[in-house]
Structure 1
Amino acid sequence: MDSSTAGAAALKRLRTRRGLSLADMARALTQIAQGLGMPRLPQVASVQRSIARWESKSATMPDERYQLLLAYLYATTPGGSRSLGAGSDFAQYLDALGALGESEHRIAELRSTLVRAVTDDGGGLFALPAPRTGAGLAQGLADSSLLDAETVLGVASVVADVNAQVGSLPFVRLQLMLAPALEACRRLMAGGPPEPLLELLRSTRVEAATLAGRLAFETRDDAVSRALYEEATREAACLRQPWRQATVHLSHALTVLYAMPDIAHAARLVERAVRAAECGESPLLRARAHALQAEVAARWGQSRQSSAALGLAWYDIERESTDEPLPGAFSAEYLRGFEGVCQLYVGDPAVAHDQFAASAGALRAPRQNVQRIIVTTDQALARIQLGEARAAVDLLHECVAAAASTGGRVPLIRLRSARLELRPWRREDFVADLDDHLMDALGH
């Protein structure tokens, strides 16, 4: 069975499992369209024929309007609750679209749209786990001895789902979505889970606390951020996988570097991350650690040390293995951005500009939105150093619009730095326009 046929079969299986005939399905989609205020669908018979084509052996892809309606249908359980997590009908529906040939970008858009709808409706985090996970969590919280692996994996998938929305949803909303998962991990561990599940549960807690620390930083709550990173560091030290300690140290180092900025403290955290990553199984994490080590050295004006760390980062990127425990944790596109930062501090701004442009052009996934804003702002800084202020401001306008959608702290820090560098042109109309845009969009 080819991929398209498998996708069509999956769509039919989802429909029939709910006991819906083709006509029932057509009426259900029509009702959803009416509820969303969308243009009226064709007659039921016409919609019914479209559904049949999606499920046929020579299947056609539902168009974007029907994709959205199907997403709303399968995000709602037969009992009327919302469920978007692993194993849910919604997750299986997205898999079916992928099999039919839909792009990863479009599938990510659908997922983001439904997560927004769920949180706007007050469904919050508990719409994200599969139904069985929710029931297992309630049981495990009542009696930790009854906790099972499926439930812990379900909580881990919630943390992963929230993490996947970074760059697509405001950080404040992500905090609200993540908080119950982190609290569940704490309570389950405090209750004394079965020994075989302790490592898995602790790993989930580390991931949740690390992400929560980053989100607290983004929302300017530095005291809470530090406490969460301390919690993640403490729990990660009890795990047998050194790379998990490295992920905590790297995330913490970035917040220290940009919040204070305390380069000495950040450098100590980076060194810990490098040592942990070198003992671990992830070349990508080692590359990320060496890249941040290179940036710290460049900010200190240490050109030779920065260049050496970048060389190690490229070495690790190029030897990524199929056994990589953190696929997607770092990439050449991200590394080019770090190269640009190093060139900005201890090199040639023209070279930095080209490296930033290459990095920003490759960072197109929704999850990469925040990083793309940061890199593009740095590209504008390179333009300013080259004396091309008007071109820099054009780039900064793009960054302001994108930063307003997430409220990210690092993009705002970078934007303020770039604006300060524009002081020699402060009387120019194009700088006044940028100030107006900053005030309108960000209140700065």
Structure 2
Amino acid sequence: MDSKATGAAALKRLRRRRGLSLADMARALTGYAEDLRLPRLPAVASVQRSVARWESESAATVPDERYQLLLAHLYARTPSGDLAIATGSDFAEFLDALGQLGESAGRIAELRTTLIRTATDGGGGMLALMSPGAQANLSAALADPSRADDTTAADLSAVVADVNSQVGSLPFVRLQLMLAPAVEMCRRLLAGPVPEPVVPAVLNAAVAASALAGRLAFETRDDPASKALYSTAISEAARLGRPWRQASVIMSHALVTLYSTPGTAGARVLVDQAVRTARKGDSPLIRARAHALQAEIAARAGEERQSQDALGLAWYDMEADHTDDPASTSFSAGHLRGFEGVCDLYVGDPSAAHDHFARSAAALTAPREQVQRAIVTTDQALARIRMNDPHAAAELLHDCITAATSTGGRVPAIRLRRARQAMRPWRREDFVADLDDHLMDIVGT
């Protein structure tokens, strides 16, 4: 059976599992269209023929985007009406069927994000991200931590990873709603008599949950909570005995410290600590990231030689063999070029900085990288200002405004404010007035 036939068979299996005839399915989709206030569907008989075409194992067709959305809402609900979109759910099987039918990975990810947004609207985000089996497992472990096992930790880690994957796609306040129960579950499990062999796996989930929660608290401007969560994550990471993991958390804390406290002194202490810790670990990419951040801190302090030395070390580790790197997706050449650009912006040539930013932005295309891309592009605009090309800078900033406000990112907003302040010499020009109007439109919506 070819891929399309497999997808068609899966759609038929899903429908029949719900006890729906072709006509029942057509009526159900029509009802969802009305509930969601989408354009009216054709007559039931016409919709029924569409359903049959999707399920044809000899000539299957892919549902169009309107029907995909309706099917997604249908299968995201259990027969009892609960929202369920985790692995093993009908919804997950539906998305897999779409992939078999030839739908793009980007569109499938978009559908999933749409339904996760629905989950947070209803306040049930975390449960929707867990299979019924995982929910039962965690409930049992919370009632009696001695019953926790590796599956318990894996279920928690999966939820944290799921929330993390939505950074750049959903507003940070929604992500906080989804993550908070996982943070609390980790805390309660570690406070209880978890079996010793399971402790490392639970700690691993707890480190990821606390560090991400610290990032989200920073993004929503709760700096005391952010500091406390990072402190917890760093302590938990130290217990893991994996220096690269601890260094990664320290770096994240350093970045939020850089943008939430005056000056660079506090961030520098943390970055130097991250570098020392990363050198004890077995991840060249984490070492590269630590040295890159060290280079940025030095550049912001006007220390050109120290900045260049740190960048050299970063590129040395970036160009090493990453085959067995335990943090293989944590840092890339595209990210490093962004750091190079920042260093040139402060202690080098703005035109070189501009080129570094352009290459970095071009490489940061994944949904998870959109916040970083907004930061890099805003810095690219600042480089254009320093090159005395404010018109070109304003063109870039229009794009940055939309990108920076889509998820409420705090760092892109800070960078935007600095870029706008740099435009003051041209404040009476029409292109700056247009930029301010755009900013006001976004803020006012």
What TM-score, normalized by structure 1, do the two folds share?
0.93
Unaligned stretches of 5+ residues in structure 2: none
Match of 1:219 in 2: 220
Deviation of the 1:344 alpha carbon: 1.0
Aligned residues: 444
CA distance in 1, matches of 2:16, 2:356: 52
CA distance in 1, matches of 2:278, 2:96: 33
Unaligned stretches of 5+ residues in structure 1: none
Q: Summarize the Cα distance change of 1:312–1:49 in structure 2 as closer, same or farther, 3 Å threshold.
A: farther
Which amino acid letter does the alignment assign opposite residue 290 of structure 2?
A
What do the CA deviations read for 1:317-358 (whole angstroms, capped 9, x no partner)?
344534443343222222221121111112211121122122
Asked whether the equivalents of residues 86 and 129 of structure 1 are also in contact (C-alpha less than 8 Å), the reply is yes
Match of 1:32 in 2: 32
Asked whether the equivalents of residues 271 and 290 of structure 2 are also in contact (C-alpha less than 8 Å), the reply is yes
Match of 1:60 in 2: 61
Aligned to 1:70, the other structure's residue is in SS state helix
CA distance in 2, matches of 1:19, 1:321: 50
Q: Summarize the Cα distance change of 1:7–1:309 in structure 2 as closer, same or farther, 3 Å threshold.
A: farther
What TM-score, normalized by structure 2, do the two folds share?
0.93
Which amino acid letter does the alignment assign opposite residue 442 of structure 1?
V
CA distance in 1, matches of 2:280, 2:13: 46
Match of 2:195 in 1: 194
Match of 2:102 in 1: 101
Structure 1 window deviating more from structure 2 (290-299 vs 412-421): it is 290-299
Which amino acid letter does the alignment assign opposite residue 396 of structure 1?
L
Q: RMSD value over aligned CA atoms?
A: 2.2
Structure 1 window deviating more from structure 2 (235-244 vs 96-105): it is 96-105
CA distance in 1, matches of 2:299, 2:3: 48
CA distance in 2, matches of 1:104, 1:360: 21
Which amino acid letter does the alignment assign opposite residue 249 of structure 1?
I
Which amino acid letter does the alignment assign opposite residue 353 of structure 1?
H
Aligned to 2:373, the other structure's residue is in SS state helix
Asked whether the equivalents of residues 105 and 366 of structure 1 are also in contact (C-alpha less than 8 Å), the reply is no
Asked whether the equivalents of residues 285 and 322 of structure 2 are also in contact (C-alpha less than 8 Å), the reply is no
Deviation of the 1:217 alpha carbon: 0.9
CA distance in 2, matches of 1:277, 1:45: 64
Asked whether the equivalents of residues 340 and 352 of structure 1 are also in contact (C-alpha less than 8 Å), the reply is yes
Match of 1:76 in 2: 77
What do the CA deviations read for 1:242-291 (whole angstroms, capped 9, x no partner)?
22102211110111112224423222222222333333343332332222
Asked whether the equivalents of residues 333 and 363 of structure 1 are also in contact (C-alpha less than 8 Å), the reply is yes
Structure 1 window deviating more from structure 2 (406-415 vs 99-108): it is 99-108
Which amino acid letter does the alignment assign opposite residue 173 of structure 2?
V
Pairwise mapping of residues 269-288 of structure 1 onto structure 2 (< 5 A)?
269-288=270-289
Task: State percent identity of aligned pairs.
Answer: 66
Match of 2:361 in 1: 360
Asked whether the equivalents of residues 171 and 218 of structure 1 are also in contact (C-alpha less than 8 Å), the reply is yes
Which amino acid letter does the alignment assign opposite residue 216 of structure 1?
A
Q: Summarize the Cα distance change of 1:98–1:306 in structure 2 as closer, same or farther, 3 Å threshold.
A: farther
Asked whether the equivalents of residues 267 and 293 of structure 1 are also in contact (C-alpha less than 8 Å), the reply is yes
Which amino acid letter does the alignment assign opposite residue 406 of structure 2?
S
Structure 1 window deviating more from structure 2 (373-382 vs 112-121): it is 112-121
Structure 1 window deviating more from structure 2 (164-173 vs 47-56): it is 47-56
Pairwise mapping of residues 313-324 of structure 1 onto structure 2 (< 5 A)?
313-319=314-320, 321-324=322-325
Q: Summarize the Cα distance change of 1:331–1:101 in structure 2 as closer, same or farther, 3 Å threshold.
A: farther
Match of 1:166 in 2: 167
Deviation of the 1:178 alpha carbon: 1.1
CA distance in 1, matches of 2:206, 2:386: 44
What do the CA deviations read for 1:371-428 (whole angstroms, capped 9, x no partner)?
1111111011001001111221221122222222222110111011111111211222
Which amino acid letter does the alignment assign opposite residue 149 of structure 1?
D
What do the CA deviations read for 1:184-213 (whole angstroms, capped 9, x no partner)?
111111122122221111111111110111
Structure 1 window deviating more from structure 2 (374-383 vs 51-60): it is 51-60
Which amino acid letter does the alignment assign opposite residue 34 of structure 2?
Q
Asked whether the equivalents of residues 86 and 154 of structure 1 are also in contact (C-alpha less than 8 Å), the reply is no
What do the CA deviations read for 1:38-70 (whole angstroms, capped 9, x no partner)?
122233343333333334254332211121112
Asked whether the equivalents of residues 108 and 366 of structure 1 are also in contact (C-alpha less than 8 Å), the reply is no
CA distance in 1, matches of 2:275, 2:2: 44
Q: Summarize the Cα distance change of 1:45–1:285 in structure 2 as closer, same or farther, 3 Å threshold.
A: farther
CA distance in 1, matches of 2:162, 2:425: 45
CA distance in 1, matches of 2:324, 2:59: 37
Q: Summarize the Cα distance change of 1:213–1:68 in structure 2 as closer, same or farther, 3 Å threshold.
A: same
Match of 1:204 in 2: 205
Which amino acid letter does the alignment assign opposite residue 404 of structure 1?
T
Match of 1:296 in 2: 297
